[in-house]
Amino acid sequence: MIYDLHTHSNASDGFLSPADLVARAQAKGVNALALTDHDPLAGFSQAAAAAQQADISLIPGIEFSTQWLGRSIHIVGLGFNPAAASITQGIKRQATSRLERAQTIGEKLAKAGVPDAYAGAQALAGDAVLGRPHFAQYLVACGAVKDVASAFKRYLGAGKMGDVKQLWPGVEEAVEWITAAQGVAVLAHPDKYDMTRSKLCQLLGQFREAGGQALEVISGKQVNTLTDKLARLAGQFSLAASCGSDFHVPNQPWQELGAFGKLPDFCQPVWQLLPGHLSS
Ligand code: MN
Ligand code: MN
Ligand code: MN
């Protein structure tokens, strides 16, 4: 059985449609898949229909952005009830936060002499989650800059006027949205936060205390020593172990669907906590 429990479609910042993602997962031998887009659940029903055809077990999934001690921390939710009120509220909270930030970026660009950037970026984003890359595209399209790199350098990059901080909820709050919907909260890609071991331990303690149940021990292709280290850390905090590619775009070998190492035998695999998804 190959479980890929962290993937993205074009319902957030991925490249493939949910149906194409499922088809690619099937081609790569994935048996159980979680589509974990950044906030929206919009891709789930399309993915579910395709998964049924492909004989892939589809696990409800989501990836929430949170903040903890000034850092952006990602929490993946798995196996929750997609219709639960807490999930709907969480998604709404994140959407409002993204919208307010995008409007603020638009206002700042207007003051800097680029009118209508919000509407322009929104049109370029289409159904995708509106973010700085769309503002960059708009700045190119309206002739304010010559390319995307210049857009970041002049307007959107760190310390520039369009670098508006996002106000995300705390880790505890996102864990609560997931657990209240009978889901399992997973701390995503712990190696990507550039944290010392003691900081990570502090985070894991609080995450566990808040009701978090698993650590993403494998995030795409990674060296065995890292897998082993994270697996031990999961054990130390009585957390189950999850694994996923964090797939966004085809043909990036380090995050291909299903293409990563095995969880060490001493881990408790997170799928044991996902009733109904134990086997296909
Ligand atoms: Mn992403
Ligand atoms: Mn992430
Ligand atoms: Mn992700």
Q: What is the mean pLDDT of the chain?
A: 94
What values do phi and psi take at 58, rounded to 5?
-100, 125
**Burial of 90 (C-beta count, 10 Å sphere; 0-12/13-18/19+):** buried
195-226 confidence digits (pLDDT tens): 999 999 999 999 999 999 999 999 999 999 99
171-195 confidence digits (pLDDT tens): 999 999 999 999 999 999 999 999 9
| Cβ pair 255, 246 in contact under 8 A | yes
pTM of the model: 0.90
- Tell how far the Cα of 248 is from the centroid of ligand 1, in angstroms: 7
- Tell how far the Cα of 256 is from the centroid of ligand 1, in angstroms: 14
Neighbours of 159 (CB within 10 A): 5
- Tell how far the Cα of 191 is from the centroid of ligand 3, in angstroms: 13
Rounded alpha-carbon distances, angstroms, from residue 177 to 82, 92, 190, 205:
11, 11, 20, 19
Question: Which residues face 73 on adjacent strands?
Answer: 66
Q: Is 14 helix (H, G, I), strand (E, B) or coil?
A: coil
- Tell how far the Cα of 114 is from the centroid of ligand 2, in angstroms: 31
92-151 confidence digits (pLDDT tens): 999 999 899 999 999 999 999 999 999 999 999 887 778 899 999 999 999 999 999 999
Decide if pLDDT at 276 tops 80: no
- Tell how far the Cα of 188 is from the centroid of ligand 2, in angstroms: 6
Residue 88 CB contacts under 8 Å (≥ 6 apart), including other chains: none
Nearest ligand to the CA atom of 15: 1
- Report CA 14 to chain centroid distance, whole Å: 10
- Tell how far the Cα of 61 is from the centroid of ligand 2, in angstroms: 13
Residue 30 CB contacts under 8 Å (≥ 6 apart), including other chains: 2, 3, 4, 56, 257, 258
Neighbours of ion ligand 2 (CB under 5 A): 74
Task: Give the integer Cα–Cα distance in Å for 45 and 257.
Answer: 20
- Tell how far the Cα of 29 is from the centroid of ligand 1, in angstroms: 23
Percent of the chain exceeding pLDDT 70 equals 98
Rounded alpha-carbon distances, angstroms, from residue 266 to 22, 45, 238, 275:
30, 35, 12, 21
User: Residue holding tokens 């694994």?
Assistant: 243
- Tell how far the Cα of 38 is from the centroid of ligand 2, in angstroms: 8
User: Residue holding tokens 């897998």?
Assistant: 227
- Tell how far the Cα of 42 is from the centroid of ligand 1, in angstroms: 15
- Tell how far the Cα of 74 is from the centroid of ligand 2, in angstroms: 5
Strands of 71-78's sheet, edge to edge?
3-7, 32-35, 57-68, 71-78, 184-187, 214-219, 240-244
Query: What's the rounded mean pLDDT across residues 237-257?
Result: 95
- Tell how far the Cα of 192 is from the centroid of ligand 3, in angstroms: 11
- Report CA 261 to chain centroid distance, whole Å: 20
Nearest ligand to the CA atom of 66: 2
What values do phi and psi take at 122, rounded to 5?
-60, -45
The pLDDT of residue 166 is: 85
Lookup: tokens for 136:
């960059």
The pLDDT of residue 277 is: 59
- Tell how far the Cα of 37 is from the centroid of ligand 3, in angstroms: 7
Nearest ligand to the CA atom of 192: 2
Give the residue among 50, 56, 81 at the shortest CA–CA distance from 5. Answer: 56
